[in-house]
Amino acid sequence: MDRAQKQEAIEALKGVFADSGAVVVTHYLGLTVAEMTDLRGRLRKEGAQLQVVKNTLAQKALNGSVGEAGDALFTGPVAIAFGPDPVSAAKVATQYAKDNDKFSVVGGLMGQQVLDQKGVNALATLPSLDQLRGKIIGLLQAPATKVAGVLQAPAGQLARVFNAYATKDAA
């Protein structure tokens, strides 16, 4: 890589760190190409990505903004999983780490906050953004359906009373 390519890679990583909800830092030593492809496919289904990064370029992209604890995450063979949703990349990465012992989660970055492995696991247990939206919509719709049911009840009772009088008069 020449100097211009390195600068371009650093700028791209700065964009990743700024735009992602959370960045999960992982070690992938010993994974085959097929296993990496499988992991990338799983992440892509959730709207996230996996990128192998050079440690020095990642540290320069962070520019000391997360301190020594953040720079310490970038040692060894590092790949970062990231997505716009803070939970999606963490969920897939931690699940894949449970299934495959060659892949491990080292930590993560969420804005200016450095997460350790336990922090990433806690993040992975949270519901995703789509699940939260579904719950909120469900909560908003429930009172509306109850109001409609309450408003409909008197009309239904009135119809039954009229029907009873009609059948009584006919008999």
The pLDDT tens digits for 87-100 are 888 999 999 999 98
Q: In this structure, is the dihedral angle defined by the CA atoms of residues 103, 106, 78 and 81, taken in order, positive or negative?
A: positive
Q: CA-CA distances (angstroms) from residue 84 to 24, 53, 58, 71?
A: 12, 19, 19, 22
pTM of the model: 0.72
Nearest to 85 by CA among 124, 120, 47: 47
| Average pLDDT, integer, range 133-150 | 73
The pLDDT tens digits for 24-79 are 999 998 899 999 999 999 999 988 999 999 988 888 888 877 777 788 888 889 99
Q: In this structure, is the dihedral angle defined by the CA atoms of residues 138, 140, 144 and 146, taken in order, positive or negative?
A: positive
49 exposed, middle or buried (CB, 10 Å; 0-12, 13-18, 19+)? middle
The pLDDT tens digits for 89-140 are 899 999 999 998 899 999 999 888 888 888 888 888 887 777 778 888 877 7
Coil, strand or helix at 114: strand
